[in-house]
Amino acid sequence: MTTAIPPGMERPHFIGIGGAGMSGIAKLLAGRGAAVAGSDSRASETTAALTALGVTTHVGHRAEHLAGDATCVVVSSAIRQDNPELVEAARRALPVIHRAEALAALLAGTRSIAVAGTHGKTTTTSMLAVALTTLGLSPSYAIGGDLDVPGSNAAQGTGDLFVVEADESDRSFHHFRPEVAIILNVELDHHANYASMDEIYDSFETFVAGIRPGGTLVINADQEGARKLTARLAGRPELTVVTYGEAADADVRVTGLRPKGLTSEVTVELGGEKLTFEVSVPGRHYAHNAVAALAAGVAAGVPAAALAAALASYTGVRRRLQFKGEAGGVRVIDSYAHHPTEMAADLEAIRDGAGEGRVLVVFQPHLFSRTRELGAEMGRALALADASLVLEIYPAREDPIPGVTSALIVDAARRHGAEVTAVPTRNAVPDAVAGIAGPGDLVLTMGAGDVTELGPLILGRLAA
């Protein structure tokens, strides 16, 4: 297992160091002894956790934040070209490295398992990282979310396995050369970067081409896009393909799935062996994520029975159906779901755990481009809830698009018979929830933006 600092990254500066992916890479480099510095638009629990590790963090973006002895600048696709620190890096002719290139450099000399797919990457990567850690294999990992506390999205282990989340959104997963790869699903998303499903398939094929000769691809046998991709990959003798799912032709077949409140129990057949194990989060899609993790770990040489048992030690990841608390008999759970498929899957999963209570959703759309393309489908997904409150669009890195507002989702939801209310501001949400929620109900804050911050405020209002 190599713990060397990649050449040229001895004193890196991260622009946007508080981001989920960026902070993990910064933590890994700091763990290898690099003098890491960076900036973010605001202070957060994540930047505080990095500071505690000895990382120099700045609030705000200013040219003078870039240290005189910086050896490179690390950026994500979200960083604009006019960022003053990026402009200063160009003036000094400093190397500018995309975060995926930095992560790929850290993977060199390891046996890596890369987890890709339109949905479920963070959960599946987390499941595998936790299970391998439970087995004492001390993997390194880089996840697009925190396991339990801020800063727990990455770790430098002492073993030879490195589990990494592989992001397709900007094609950055093309940089990876894994020994084992997982593809959970293939759908059209990230409309600013992909114009068609053909472009999506081409991108995933490029990712698969990066698997090391003799390596293994673990891919979903149930999802249409994944099956089409599998067919496109036929005739590659250097690649072992392992399919998983409930399909009759799956190599790792799910033969049983039993909901147990906010957990579930899954049974699989693998290599002639039947294994039953617990998954700590509800829903069919989370159970399937666990099966993908199991198949990938086995492909990397981990004994199946031991890994299945260890998967039960996974207790969730922040923002993936994370229980936030209970007040006035109302439970509040937070969901990162922002694509219609994810939204529907989480709502169906939560339905099993709600019992006789109602499922109430506070939804914040993420990105103007996604809302323009998928707003109707988002509205259809919200029809699965008993009632929904819809906030305005969280823009993230995008500028507004004329005519694109959350009204597209609200109107679509109502066409599908949903009870939905547009809420103009975040500040109005706690009172709005208190006005409709009652004992036994379950409130789901949903979206990839700052809607996650509303959970504690809702609980405070319900307790008042």
pLDDT in tens, 359-374: 999 999 999 999 999 9
Specify the higher pLDDT residue, 80 or 351: 80
Percent of the chain clearing pLDDT 70 (strictly above)? 96
Question: Which residue is listed with tokens 């001895």?
Answer: 10
Judged by DSSP in three states, 333 sits in strand
Q: Are residues 245 and 336 in the same domain?
A: no
The domain spanning residue 299 has which CATH number? Answer: 3.40.1190.10
Residue 375: both structure tokens together: 């707003």
- pLDDT value at position 191? 67
Selection from 360, 278, 289 nearest residue 320 by Cα: 289
Active site residue 274: no
- Residue 119 labelled as part of a binding site: yes
Query: For 441-458, what is the mean pLDDT?
Result: 92
Question: pLDDT tens digits for 89-121?
Answer: 999 999 999 998 999 999 998 999 999 998 889
The domain spanning residue 419 has which CATH number? Answer: 3.90.190.20
Residue 64: both structure tokens together: 């003078």
- Residue 235 labelled as part of a binding site: no
DSSP string, 422-437: E-S-GGGHHHHHHHH-
Q: Is the pLDDT of residue 449 over 70?
A: yes
Looking at the domain assignment, is residue 102 inside a domain?
no
Residue 390: both structure tokens together: 């819809």
Q: Are residues 297 and 338 in the same domain?
A: no
Looking at the domain assignment, is residue 409 inside a domain?
yes
Q: Are residues 418 and 453 in the same domain?
A: yes
- Residue 371 labelled as part of a binding site: no
- pLDDT value at position 15? 97
Q: Is the pLDDT of residue 148 over 70?
A: no
Q: How many whole angstroms separate alpha carbon 290 and alpha carbon 308?
A: 9
DSSP string, 278-327: EESS-SHHHHHHHHHHHHHHHHTT--HHHHHHHHTT----TTEEEEEEEE
- Residue 120 labelled as part of a binding site: yes
Looking at the domain assignment, is residue 222 inside a domain?
yes
Looking at the domain assignment, is residue 171 inside a domain?
yes
Q: For residue 258, give the H/E element and its range.
A: strand 252-260
Q: How many whole angstroms separate alpha carbon 431 and alpha carbon 462?
A: 9
Residue 1: band (very low, low, confident or very high) from pLDDT cuts 50, 70, 90: low
| Cβ neighbours around 51 below 10 Å, total | 13
Half-sphere exposure in the Cβ direction for 199 (13 Å, CA): 13
What domain range includes position 444?
320-463
Q: Is the pLDDT of residue 349 over 90?
A: no
Judged by DSSP in three states, 90 sits in helix
- Residue 175 labelled as part of a binding site: no
Q: Among 165, 168, 278, 342, which one carries the catalytic annotation? A: 165
Judged by DSSP in three states, 379 sits in helix
Active site residue 122: yes
Looking at the domain assignment, is residue 358 inside a domain?
yes
Q: Among 122, 216, 263, 452, which one carries the catalytic annotation? A: 122
DSSP state of 251: S
**Contact (CB, 8 A) for 25 and 106:** yes
Asked which of 258, 292, 311 is the last residue of a domain, the reply is 311
Q: Are residues 236 and 272 in the same domain?
A: yes
Q: Are residues 263 and 193 in the same domain?
A: yes
**Contact (CB, 8 A) for 95 and 8:** yes
Asked which of 289, 311, 333 is the last residue of a domain, the reply is 311
Looking at the domain assignment, is residue 283 inside a domain?
yes
Q: Are residues 62 and 190 in the same domain?
A: no
Question: pLDDT tens digits for 49-75?
Answer: 999 999 999 999 999 999 999 999 999
Q: How many whole angstroms separate alpha carbon 48 and alpha carbon 287?
A: 34
Percent of the chain clearing pLDDT 90 (strictly above)? 73
Question: pLDDT tens digits for 380-416?
Answer: 999 999 999 999 999 987 889 999 999 999 999 999 9
Active site residue 121: yes
Q: Are residues 447 and 333 in the same domain?
A: yes
Q: Is the pLDDT of residue 272 over 80?
A: yes
**Contact (CB, 8 A) for 177 and 110:** no
Query: What is the total count of domains within the chain?
Result: 3
Q: Is the pLDDT of residue 2 over 80?
A: no
Looking at the domain assignment, is residue 337 inside a domain?
yes
How far from chain centre, in Å, is Cα 200?
18
Q: How many whole angstroms separate alpha carbon 165 and alpha carbon 144?
A: 7
Q: Are residues 360 and 431 in the same domain?
A: yes
Question: pLDDT tens digits for 177-216?
Answer: 999 999 999 987 766 778 789 999 999 999 999 999 999 9
Looking at the domain assignment, is residue 395 inside a domain?
yes
Q: How many whole angstroms separate alpha carbon 355 and alpha carbon 451?
A: 25
Q: Is the pLDDT of residue 150 over 60?
A: no
The domain spanning residue 79 has which CATH number? Answer: 3.40.50.720
How, if at all, do strands 273-279 and 320-327 pair? unpaired
The rounded mean pLDDT for the chain is: 91
Taking the model in full, what pTM does it have?
A: 0.76
Q: Are residues 347 and 232 in the same domain?
A: no
Q: How many whole angstroms separate alpha carbon 386 and alpha carbon 351?
A: 10
Q: For residue 12, give the H/E element and its range.
A: strand 12-15
Q: Are residues 233 and 337 in the same domain?
A: no
DSSP string, 103-171: HHHHHTTSEEEEEE-SS-HHHHHHHHHHHHHHTT---EEE-SS-SSSTTTTEE--SSSEEEEE---TTS
Q: Is the pLDDT of residue 147 over 70?
A: no
How, if at all, do strands 252-260 and 263-270 pair? antiparallel
**Contact (CB, 8 A) for 184 and 138:** no
Q: Are residues 190 and 44 in the same domain?
A: no
Q: Are residues 91 and 204 in the same domain?
A: no
Asked which of 48, 66, 97 is the last residue of a domain, the reply is 97
